[in-house]
Amino acid sequence: MSAGAGASPDAAPVIETRGLSKRYGGQLAVDRLDLSVPAGSVFGFLGPNGSGKTTTIRMLMGLIDPGAGTVRVLGHRMPDAARTVLPQVGALIEGPALYGHLSGRDNLVRYDSADPTADPRTRKARVAAALDRVGLTAAAGKRAKAYSLGMKQRLGLAAALLTPRRLLVLDEPTNGLDPQGMREIRTLVRELARDGTTVFLSSHLLDEIEQVCTHAAVMAKGRLVTQGPVEDLAATARGRLAVSTPDPGDAVRVLKENGVTGIAVESGDRVTGDPPPDGDLAELTAALVGAGVRVRGFGLERASLEDVFMQLTGEGFDVTG
Amino acid sequence: MSRADTAAYAGGPAAAGDPGVRRWFWTLGLFRSEVTTTFRRWRTLALLGVLAAVPVLVGIAVKIETGDGGSAGGGAGQGPAFIAQITNNGLFLVFTALAATLPFFLPMAVGVVAGDGIAGEASAGTLRYLLVAPAGRSRLLLAKYAATLAFCLVATLTVAVSALIVGALLFPLGELTTISGTRISLSEGLWRALLIALVVAASLIGLAALGLFVSTLTNSGIAAMATTVGLLIAVQILDTIPQLDALHPYLFSHHWLSFADLMREPVHWDDLLSNLRLQLIYAAVFGSAAWARFTAKDITA
C-alpha cells in the first residue's frame, strides 16, 4: 500500500473543521468545533459517552448535515465533495452493520459494489485480501448472522480496507474483541499508519489511545477541550510526586513546608502530592534528608492520559455526559 | 492531497475507457448487487412462494369442483369472469390467477419489498456503510427503485408461469375465446398472456414509488412495510365507496383490472392507458418526494 505516502508532514490537515456545530432539538450536540487532524497521524478522539463524538464523525462522513460551520476532509468540503472524498476514506462507524443473510465475503462484495470508483474486475481479489488482512479467510463463507461480535467487528474493518485509503475513521474498533484481537487491531493500525494512512480513532480505552496514537483530541459536552500531540497533552498535566518512607508524618510536614500541595498518605508508607510549580525536586530531597526523614524512594510519576482526561473533563471516562 | 493524487485513487487500475460509460456500468453494478441482495432474502423467496401457490390452489379447486362433469360457477369472484373458462382452456388460469392476486397478494409483496428498501437498510445499520462507500444518495435510491420494479416483474411472472404450468397440467390447452366472443389461436393467446403479465407488473409502478417514499420517512423497516401495506388496503377500501366517486380516478388501484381489456377484440385501450398514465404520475410524484426527502435527510441510524 502506498496510500498518502507522498504526504509531507506540513501538508494540509486531513480533517479540518471550523466552528462546526449541530443542534438537536434545543440542545447543542456539537458546539463550535475546530478540529485539525494532521496528515499521517494516528489521531485519538476521546470523550465520555454523549459528548458529541459520534455526531462529529457522522458530520465528517457526510451522513449528517452540519448545522453551522465547515468540514474539510482530504482538502474538500463535506458533504458536497462526498463522491470525491469518501472513496479514499475507510470507515467503521458505531460498530459494524452487516447483511445477516449474506456470507462474510458477499457482504464485502455488496459494500464494494456500492463504491462507484471500485473496479469490479479486481473485486474478488481485493475482497480476499481484505478478509485475509483481518484474519477472516476461514469464516468467509459463513453467513454473517452466525458471526460473533468480534468477527463482525473484523468484517467491518475489512470493509474499510477494501481499497487503498488515505484516511481511516475507526469508531471504537476494538469493541467486542478479546485481548488477542485488540492487539491484532493495534498492530494493524500501526501498519496502516506506517504506510502513510492517517487514522482517526475514537476509543474509550485510554491506554489504547496512549499506545497507538500520535495525536489526540478530547471532547466534553459537545466542545473540544484540547487537541495536540499526545506527549504535549500528557505534559500539560504535571506529574505527581511520590515519596516512599517509613516516616510519613515527618515527610508530610517537610513537604508542606516546601510548597507541596494536595498531600495524601497512601498505604501507610507512601506519600504523594503535587510538586510546587517552580520548585527544584533536588531541593525537596535535600530538605527531607536534612530533616531526618528516611527515604526509600522518591520520584515524579508521569501523568497518564487518563489524568489529563480527568483534569480536563472533571469526570471519569465512562460517566455518561 | 493534490488533485492528481485524488484522480489516481478514483481511477485506480481501471482508469482506461470512457468515464461516462464506466459510471453507468458501475451504477448497474449497484443495481445488480441490490437485486441479488433482495432475492437472496428468505422473506423475498417466501413471498414468491406464496404467489406461486395461488394458481396451484385455484387450479386444484376448479379441478375438484368440475371433476364430476359439472362446470365451475363464474362471476362470484372479483374481477372478470375468466374462472368459468378454465376447464375449457388452461390458459385462462393465467388470467384468473393474475386477477385474483392483483388486488392484494401482488401489491402486498411489492409493498413489503419497497417499504423495506431504505428503512430496512437504516434499521440494519447498513445504510450508513452504503452511503460512506459512497453509494451516493440519488444513485442508491435509483438502484433501490429499479430493484423494486424488477421485483414487481418477477413477482407477476411467478404468478403467470405458475398458472401456466398448473393450467397446462390440469386442463386442456387450445384455441381460446376472447371476451368479445372471437376466437384466437393458442400462440396469440400466449402473447396476450405475456402482455397482460407486463401490464399487471406495470400496474405496480405507482405503489412501488409510494412504498419507497414511505421507506425514506422512517428508520424502521417493519413500520415502513406496515404503512405501505396499510395505505394499499385504505386505497382499496376508498375505491369501493361510491360516495367518493370524485376521488376514484386518482387512486392508484382504480384501473388495475383494466388488463382484462387486452382480452377483447379489438383491444380497448382507454382504461389501459389511463392506468399506465396514473402509474407514471405516481412514480413521478412519490419518486421526487422520496428523492427530496432522502437527499436531505440526516442519517442517524
Query: Which of B6, B14, B40 lies at the smallest CB-CB distance from A101?
Result: B40
**pLDDT attached to residue A65:** 92
**pLDDT attached to residue B123:** 94
Contacts of A97 (CB under 8 A, 6+ apart): A156, B124, B125, B126, B128, B129
Query: Which of A7, A116, A118 lies at the smallest CB-CB distance from B27?
Result: A116
Contact B111, B229 (CB under 8 A): yes
User: Mean pLDDT for chain B?
Assistant: 87
User: CA dist A212 to A153, A203, A215, A290, B60, Å?
Assistant: 19, 11, 9, 44, 70
Residue A312 has pLDDT above 90, yes or no: no
Structure confidence at residue A8 as a pLDDT band (50, 70, 90)? very low
Chain B positions touching A159 (Cβ under 8 A) are 129
Structure confidence at residue B221 as a pLDDT band (50, 70, 90)? very high
Residue B152 grid cell: 414487481
Structure confidence at residue B195 as a pLDDT band (50, 70, 90)? very high
Structure confidence at residue A319 as a pLDDT band (50, 70, 90)? very low
Per-residue pLDDT averaged across B227-250, rounded? Answer: 93
Say if the Cβ atoms of B33 and A164 lie within 8 Å.
no
Chain A positions touching B27 (Cβ under 8 A) are 116
Say if the Cβ atoms of B132 and A109 lie within 8 Å.
no
**pLDDT attached to residue A203:** 82
Residue B15 has pLDDT above 60, yes or no: no
Structure confidence at residue A238 as a pLDDT band (50, 70, 90)? low
User: Mean pLDDT for chain A?
Assistant: 86
Percent of chain B clearing pLDDT 70 (strictly above): 86
The better pLDDT of the pair A186, B71 is held by A186
Q: What is the pLDDT of residues B26-65, one digit of tens each?
A: 568 899 999 999 999 999 999 999 999 999 999 999 988 8
The better pLDDT of the pair A25, A128 is held by A128
Query: Which of A3, A122, A159 lies at the smallest CB-CB distance from B13?
Result: A122
Least confident of A48-62, A275-289, B156-170: A275-289
Contact A10, A183 (CB under 8 A): no
Q: How many alpha carbons fall within 13 Å on the CB side of residue A192?
A: 34
**pLDDT attached to residue A145:** 94
Q: Which residue in A10, A98, A110 has the most chain B C-beta atoms within 10 A of its own C-beta, making it the best mutation to test that interface?
A: A110
Chain A positions touching B300 (Cβ under 8 A) are 58, 63-64
Chain B's closest residue to A91, CA to CA, is: B132
**pLDDT attached to residue A237:** 64
**pLDDT attached to residue B17:** 47
Q: What is the pLDDT of residues A84-104, one digit of tens each?
A: 999 999 999 988 999 999 999
| A:B CB pairs within 8 Å | 125
* DSSP one-letter string for A8-50: -TTSPPSEEEEEEEEEETTEEEEEEE--EE-TT-EEEEE--TT
Least confident of A120-124, A206-210, B4-8, B199-203: B4-8
Distance CA B114, CA B117 (A): 5
Residue B4 has pLDDT above 50, yes or no: no
**pLDDT attached to residue A5:** 40
Chain A positions touching B139 (Cβ under 8 A) are 116
CA B211 to chain A, closest CA, distance in angstroms equals 21
Per-residue pLDDT averaged across B140-147, rounded? Answer: 95
Contact A231, A257 (CB under 8 A): no
Query: Which of B128, B136, B298 lies at the smallest CB-CB distance from A116?
Result: B136
Least confident of A212-226, B2-16, B128-142, B237-251: B2-16
User: CA dist B286 to B138, B206, B260, Å?
Assistant: 14, 8, 27
- Type and span of the H or E element at B211: helix B205-217
**pLDDT attached to residue A321:** 38
Structure confidence at residue B247 as a pLDDT band (50, 70, 90)? very high
Query: Which of B6, B12, B129 lies at the smallest CB-CB distance from A159?
Result: B129
Neighbours of A277 (CB within 10 A): 8
**pLDDT attached to residue B2:** 39
The better pLDDT of the pair A108, A277 is held by A108
**pLDDT attached to residue B72:** 46
Write the Ramachandran bin of A258: left for phi over 0, alpha for psi from -120 to 50, otherwise beta.
alpha
Q: What is the pLDDT of residues A282-304, one digit of tens each?
A: 888 888 888 888 888 888 776 66
Residue B272 grid cell: 389501459
Chain B's closest residue to A7, CA to CA, is: B1
**pLDDT attached to residue B27:** 67
The better pLDDT of the pair B13, B121 is held by B121
Domain spans, chain B: 40-295
Residue B20 has pLDDT above 60, yes or no: no
Chain B positions touching A163 (Cβ under 8 A) are 9, 12
Per-residue pLDDT averaged across B2-14, rounded? Answer: 39
CA A230 to chain B, closest CA, distance in angstroms equals 25
What is the per-residue burial (b if ≥16 Cβ within 10 Å, else e) of B179-191?
beeeeeeeeebee
Per-residue pLDDT averaged across A71-79, rounded? Answer: 93
Per-residue pLDDT averaged across B157-172, rounded? Answer: 95
Percent of chain A clearing pLDDT 70 (strictly above): 91
Structure confidence at residue B230 as a pLDDT band (50, 70, 90)? very high
CA A2 to chain B, closest CA, distance in angstroms equals 11
**pLDDT attached to residue B182:** 87
Contact B122, B129 (CB under 8 A): no
Query: Which of A64, A84, A114 lies at the smallest CB-CB distance from B135?
Result: A114
Residue A284 grid cell: 525537596
Say if the Cβ atoms of A163 and B12 lie within 8 Å.
yes
* Cell 379489438 belongs to residue: B266
CA B231 to chain A, closest CA, distance in angstroms equals 28
Residue B212 grid cell: 419507497
